[in-house]
Amino acid sequence: MKLNATTILSVRHQGQVALGGDGQVSLGDSIMKADAMKIRHLLDGKVITGFAGGSADAFALLERLEAKLKNHPGNIPRAATELAKEWRTDRALRRLEAMVIIVSAEHTLLVTGIGDVIQPTDGILGIGSGGNYAVAAARGLVAHSQLAAGEIVRKSLEIASGIDVYTNDQIVVEELESHS
C-alpha cells in the first residue's frame, strides 16, 4: 500500500523516540494545504500517532485507536492489534485508505488496513510517499552522527522533502522519553 500523501517518520535512538511529519496536503498533482497537522497525541500524551493517506479516513481510525487504547491501557500492541483486526474485518472500515504509526515509550508500531501490525527491528519507521527516502536518511544519520532522535527525524524529513514532490518542509516533530 503506497500512499502519495505525505511523509511520516519515527526514530527510536539514544533513549528518545521522535515522530514527525510534513504539512503538505495534495489532491492529485495540486498542493491544497502546506501546514496540515498529521501528528496527534493520544492517551494523555503517552502515545503519539502519525498518519498518511486520506485525512478523513485517518481521523476515523485515530478515533477508533483512541477507544482501543482506553480499553487496553498500558498495552499498546494489543490496542494496535485490535484496531488492525477491526479495520480488516469491518465492511465500512475496509474501504479506508490510510496508514498509522503509533509510538509510546516502549513501542513503535505500523498499523495498516490489511491487518499488519509491524514493529521495526531498528526503531526506524516511515510511511507515505517519501517514507522510504526519510528512512534511508534516518538510518544513515543514526549510524554516522551523534544527533538526538528528534534532530534525526527533522533532518531526514528535510531530505525527503527535497526528493518527494508530495512532501514539504513544514515539519512537526514530537518526542517522548524511550524505555527501550
- pLDDT tens sequence across 15-69: 999 999 999 988 888 888 999 999 999 999 999 999 988 777 888 888 999 999 9
Q: 7-177 maps to which CATH number?
A: 3.60.20.10
pLDDT of residue 180: 59
Pick 87 or 83 by higher pLDDT. Answer: 83
Q: Give the residue numbers annotated as catalytic, written as ranges.
A: 6
**What pLDDT sits at residue 4?**
54
φ, ψ (nearest 5 deg) of residue 72: -130, 60
Average pLDDT value for residue range 61-90: 90
Phi, psi of 134, rounded to the nearest 5 degrees = -65, -40
Q: Rounded to whole angstroms, what are the CA distances from 153 to 58, 60, 67, 130, 162?
A: 21, 26, 28, 13, 14
pTM: 0.93
Average pLDDT for residues 109-125, to the nearest whole number?
Answer: 92
Bigger pLDDT: 115 vs 35: 35
